Amino acid sequence: MDIGYKLIRSEILHLDGISSCHINAFPNAIFSKLGPKFLKKMFSWYFESENRLLFHIEHDGHCIGYFGLLINNGKLKMGSTSSIIQYTFSQIITQILLNPRILLHYSFLQNFKLIVRNIKLKMFSSKKNEIIINDNNTDYFPKLGLIVIGLRKEYQGKGVGTYLLKSIDQIAHDLKVKSIYLTVSKSNINAIKSYVNNGYNAKPIRESIYMEKYIL
């Protein structure tokens, strides 16, 4: 479906618009609560490696949707969430000091182990550059990780997400990856429906669902 929005490979100058779009798409998420300054740093993570890609679409010059991708060759140093936490660590601490109430956010409790692991990694580990995730069976790689996807509220449920997912299929095809994968919260029924409609298969893992779509 051609929905009339041109896909734009995002650059630093687009980060204000993408951050504002993220807050609109995920108003209750911890990363949104950390504020626009934090989000700009978070999205600049995509410009730190050629394995990471950030795209967005605009309407009347404003960002209305975006997605972030990671080319995973099976030899990543850590998962994307940890990598983002490590990259934005000092901004997270600054925001917590400015607004300690953030610590009451449900994600801190829900992701306690991940947070402790990341604090240890930041404070004590001299092995930051060691490979932590290394899948020996590289036959199944490279894969494309869909790290984040979001649309402004008023554009949701109208097929725009499907347009973005089809654009990701095309990128995956051009990159010759074997599959596209993502994780989504079990409670995010709308997003799961959209992924299933677009050919993703689901595998439940704890409170999340791992979804994967194979590229022919």
Q: Which residue, judged by CB position, is nearest to ligand COA in the bound state? A: 161
Nearest to 132 by CA among 144, 124, 121: 121
Q: Which is nearer to ligand COA, 128 or 193 (CB)?
A: 193
Confirm if 160 and 65 have CB atoms less than 8 A apart.
yes
- With b for 16 or more beta-carbon neighbours within 10 A and e for fewer, the 22-43 pattern comes to bbbbeeebbbbbbbeebbbbbb
Q: Which is nearer to ligand COA, 120 or 186 (CB)?
A: 186
List, in order, residues 6 or more apart from 67 with CB less than 8 Å away.
54, 55, 56, 146, 148, 149, 150, 164, 168
Cβ 23 to ligand COA shortest distance, Å: 11
Cβ 48 to ligand COA shortest distance, Å: 22
Alpha carbon distance 88, 39 (integer Å): 9
Which residue ranges make up the site for ligand COA (CB under 6 A)? 25-26, 149-151, 156-162, 184, 188, 190-191, 193-194, 197
Q: Which is nearer to ligand COA, 138 or 188 (CB)?
A: 188
Cβ 193 to ligand COA shortest distance, Å: 4
Cβ 211 to ligand COA shortest distance, Å: 9
Q: Which is nearer to ligand COA, 172 or 191 (CB)?
A: 191
